[in-house]
Amino acid sequence: MRFAYAGTARFAELVLQGLADAGSVPVAVVTNPDRPRGRHGTPQPPPIATLAQTLGVPVLQPEDLSDPEGLQALQAHGPDVLVACAYGQIIRQPVLDAVESIVVHPSLVPRWRGAAPVERALMAGETELGVCTLRMTAAVDEGPVGDERRVHVPREADAGRAYELLAPAAVAGVLATLERIAAGTQEWRPQEGEATYAAKIGAADKVIDWTRPATAIADQVRALSPHIGAVTELAGRRTRIWRASPGQGPLPAVTADRLVIAAGDGWLDVHELQQEGRTRVGAAEFLRGAG
């Protein structure tokens, strides 16, 4: 079956690589236009565009896939199905009317619909995550379910690792769904249960509140690592904490190479951090530099 693939984020890149490794290459990859990046703000393509070129797949980068020009460019490649995965744009009705469309969503819908399902699940301390393929509708992440796969994510895993663990399940789900669509046997069931919304991570979500329990802060840190960062002020500088683990009971004894911060309940053992304008370092190196 000929399918096009729409994706931009790291998770989409992992799934595309998995599909290619399984011998299933799309007829085209749709991703966001080049955006300014780096210190000099030079426009650069999303990494998934580079991967697609490596695979020999044409890359489309419309500002809006639903505009006539974007849709015409997609249809020129003749896909039977459009597979969307962490695309970063809302795919509107003109596309849905033109080509059968499915979306890969890294949650067990209707739980954690929205832009940041993995991050919100980790913030909530969840370890039972999953991936669904949905028939795409105009209502984002509300379409019927065609495939669902559960994935255990260890409590200590950060968001980067969680996406890596979810990607193989997503690949398997997409391949199975495409096979059933081709055979005319795909069935879609309505979403069941209480819906929760995984809002995009905002500035307030990044700030650490040290009156919260240490386990909740540790979940916040891992949910925002390695791509966003939980933020606090330390030694007079804005600081991102990238890796940490919670502890309970009395604060441990002070040492020259261990950074421990008291929380509302327990304490946080900080392993890796980054002060504004500086590189990421381990706790011991930070303490040596901070004197």
For 163, phi then psi, to 5°, come to: -65, -40
* Backbone region of residue 204 per phi and psi (left: phi > 0; alpha: psi in -120 to 50; beta: other values): alpha
Residue 291 has pLDDT above 70, yes or no: no
User: Percentage of residues in the chain with pLDDT exceeding 90?
Assistant: 91
Q: Looking at residues 169-198, what average pLDDT do you find?
A: 97
Residue 39 scores a pLDDT above 80 = no
Of 240, 243, 199, nearest to 218 by C-alpha is 243
Among the ranges given (156-160, 196-200, 249-253, 287-291), the one the predictor scored with the smallest mean pLDDT? 287-291
Contact 32, 90 (CB under 8 A): no
- Rounded to the nearest integer, the mean pLDDT of the chain is 96
Which tens digits make up the pLDDT trace of 102-118? 999 999 999 999 999 99
Neighbours of 100 (CB within 10 A): 15
pLDDT the model gives residue 207: 98
pLDDT tens, 224-281?
999 999 999 998 999 999 999 999 988 888 788 899 999 999 999 999 999 999 999 9
pTM attached to this predicted model = 0.95
